[in-house]
């Protein structure tokens, strides 16, 4: 079966809005490893629904951008929050052993950029797309 490789941000935001607000590994990352300093929303769900929904616009405050973007794939690669990446993986339905491996790799990375890279090295965008289209 051929899978769609990308999705527009609004459609991805709407899909994420149907998911649970809390999942084990993203919550655990927030509580045990690193909680973002500039939290605008109380849950990763609200954070990600708003992040993807606002990317096709110029945004506002910390989400301001000169060039609107409507590619969920680009948004995924621009995310600099490991808990958000883990939440997306869990919400998409990536299997628990893979999410656990990504969590451990992020935890060992030691900084924000390294943690996000570690997660993306284990959980690719194509895996996210395949999981949500399965």
Q: Is the pTM of this model over 0.85?
A: yes
pLDDT tens for 74-121 read 999 999 999 999 999 999 999 999 999 999 999 999 888 999 999 999
39 pLDDT more than 70? no
- Average the pLDDT over each of 5-9, 40-44, 114-118 and give the range with the smallest value: 40-44
Exposed e or buried b per residue across 12-36, where buried means at least 16 C-beta atoms within 10 angstroms of its C-beta: bbebbeebeeebebbbebbeebbee
- Greatest mean pLDDT among 46-50, 53-57, 63-67: 46-50
């Amino acid at each position: 079966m051929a899978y769609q490789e990308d999705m527009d941000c609004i459609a991805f935001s709407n899909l994420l809005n149907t998911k649970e607000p809390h999942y084990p590994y993203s919550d655990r990352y927030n509580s045990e490893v690193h909680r973002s300093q500039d939290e605008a929303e109380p849950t990763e769900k609200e954070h990600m629904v708003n992040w993807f929904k606002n990317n096709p616009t110029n945004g506002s405050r910390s989400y301001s951008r000169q060039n609107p973007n409507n590619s969920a794939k680009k948004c995924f690669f621009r995310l600099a929050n490991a808990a958000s990446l883990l939440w997306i993986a869990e919400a998409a339905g990536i299997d628990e052993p893979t999410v656990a491996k990504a969590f451990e790799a992020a935890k060992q990375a030691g900084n924000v950029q390294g943690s996000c890279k570690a997660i993306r090295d284990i959980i690719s965008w194509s895996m996210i797309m395949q999981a949500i289209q399965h």
